[in-house]
Amino acid sequence: MSEEGLAGRRVLVTGGLGFIGSNLAHRCASVGAQVTVLDSLDPSCGGNAANLDGVADRVRVMRGDIRDERVAGDAVRDSDVVFSCAAFTSHARSMEDPAHVMDVNCGGTLVLLEAAKRERGRVRFVHVGTSTQTGRMLREPITEDHPELPLDMYSASKTASEKLVFLYGTVHGVPATVVRLANVYGPRANIRSADLGFLNYFIGLALRGERLTVYGEGDQRRNVAYVDDVVGALVRASIVPAAVGQVLFAVSDEHLTVRALAETISREIGSAGVASVPWPSSRARIEIGSAVIDGSRGREVLGWRATTSLRDGLARTKAYYASRLQAYLGSAA
């Protein structure tokens, strides 16, 4: 079953002006889907209106909050597929305002699920999760069955919202899939702030010719994946029947230490080098250490594989930002 299975389908992407959501909107529009994006453009969440450049004439934009029952309800009712990408995603800042994070990530997901429930199984629901839901790696590699012991409120909220998705699937018949992602990089990311992902922040620093800083030795290992690859996994999750009721990792087999990642970005994009700095106490408390993930279940169920090497992905990312850098270093709106 190819991605053209979305052709003519009405697709809603929440958080569709953000990193993952906007790349997903581009892909869905390219295969002939009728795409609507719903985004509040909250400055703390990384959305950027420039992310729809090139498809703005084919994508309907709704400015609104997923917690707004009327707005979200109307958007879901007019859709055949919902990609639930909207979230407050900062690990560090989630510890400063935990109630807000739970309200957005769990409360907002609940509003979307209630709307999907009213459609009585008609709307396919794909929810984006995160690898950090597992917390520290208790056994290697991490699979979908690994215990979930998150260390920050963002990750805890994603664990809780994932359970809501499966509750609504089991009890209310919402055909739902959760796809957990890990360390995604590439075009249309927020490259200004470390709060929204260290890889894309490193890329932003390198594009400006600045030095990259790594906490401590940077010897913790991470899977990485290029955004076009994970978007392919999300699309597959919306059309493959066997994905319903599953939680799946969509990750690349490529995993490197944080220091090696920084050095590769510095070499491939160009920067003033890489330096180590001491761990801030606030970051050290929520650091999970190495996380090596086995993505074989996702590959098998979805019939999908990440194919972009880190070197190729960085080259494509550098080319994308070459003529657009100001759009990603200026105002998010």
Single-letter residue type at 256:
L
Rounded to two decimals, the pTM is 0.97
C-alpha–C-alpha distance, residues 314 and 288, integer Å: 25
Neighbours of 109 (CB within 10 A): 26
Letter string b/e over residues 10-21, b meaning 16 or more CB atoms within 10 A of that residue's CB:
bbbbbbbbbbbb
Cα angle 254, 290, 277; round to 5: 105
| CA 13 distance to own-chain centroid | 12
Q: Which of 65, 73, 158, 179 is nearest to 123 (CA)?
A: 73
For residue 126, the cross-strand partners are 83, 177
Residue boundaries of the structural domains of the chain? 7-256+278-329
The per-residue pLDDT for range 151-169, each reduced to its tens digit, is 999 999 999 999 999 999 9
Residue range 213-244, pLDDT digits in tens? 999 999 999 999 999 999 999 999 999 999 99
pLDDT tens digits, 9-60:
999 999 999 999 999 999 999 999 999 999 999 887 889 999 999 999 999 9
Percent of the chain, pLDDT > 70?
A: 99
Kindly state the tokens that stand for 213.
Answer: 């800083």
Cα distance between residue 227 and residue 150, in whole Å: 24
Domain 7-256+278-329: assigned CATH number: 3.40.50.720
Q: What is the DSSP string of 128-180?
A: EEEGGGG-S-SSSSB-TTS----SSHHHHHHHHHHHHHHHHHHHH---EEEEE
Q: Is residue 1 over pLDDT 70?
A: no
